[in-house]
Amino acid sequence: MKKAQAAMETLILVGFALALFIPLILLFFSATTNRSEETNLIAARSAVRSVADYASDTYLQGEGAKKRIIVNYPSQVANISISNQTITFRVRTQAGLVDISEPFTGKVVDTPVANKKLYEQRVRPELDIGGGLHTIDFFHTNGKVEVSYVG
């Protein structure tokens, strides 16, 4: 009888402990996911700002200006587009897709992509570009800045 009572008390204690710790663990993981999303959005804002700034700088330097930069894209960048004097990164979040845009000075055109993965992403937009370092070339010619994604 005493063994059964001890086993029942242990089982009840473990049940109470689980009832307390499981919500705390779920809250911790939820907060971590939110911080990760915020970090990705901040990194995307920084990356799109860098691309727009370099495009503007290249345009303002005049004919023949060239620049090459390495930009760190966050892991959730789904798409990049250049149009109407704006560069836009589309970022995946739990709430859906978020567009982060930055204006630039001058006329900028997107040239054919040298990187196969980026080309496939443009043909099939459901593919992610992928995070990490990407090389971008800027070249001012014929009154416009050509942007090439090298890799």
Mean of the pLDDT values across residues 135-151? 81
For 40-68, b/e burial (b = at least 16 CB within 10 A) is bbebbbebbebbbebbbbbbeeeeeeeee
**What is the rounded average pLDDT for all residues in the chain?**
79
Which of 58, 63, 59, 82 lies closest to 149 in space, CA to CA?
82
What token pair was written down for 70? 């390495």
Q: Residue 128 and residue 77: Cα distance in Å, rounded?
A: 6
pLDDT at 117 over 60: no
Q: Which residues contact 28 (CB under 8 A, 6 or more apart)?
A: none
Q: What is the pLDDT of residue 121?
A: 55
DSSP code for 112: P
Q: What is the pLDDT of residue 16?
A: 85
Residue 6 pLDDT class (50, 70, 90 cuts): confident
Residue 45 pLDDT class (50, 70, 90 cuts): very high
Domain that holds residue 126: 2-149
What token pair was written down for 114? 């040298």
The domain tally of the chain equals: 1
Positive/negative CA dihedral, 102, 45, 88, 135:
positive
Q: Residue 10 and residue 95: Cα distance in Å, rounded?
A: 42
pTM (2 decimals)?
0.68
Q: What is the Cα 84 distance to its own chain's centre?
A: 22
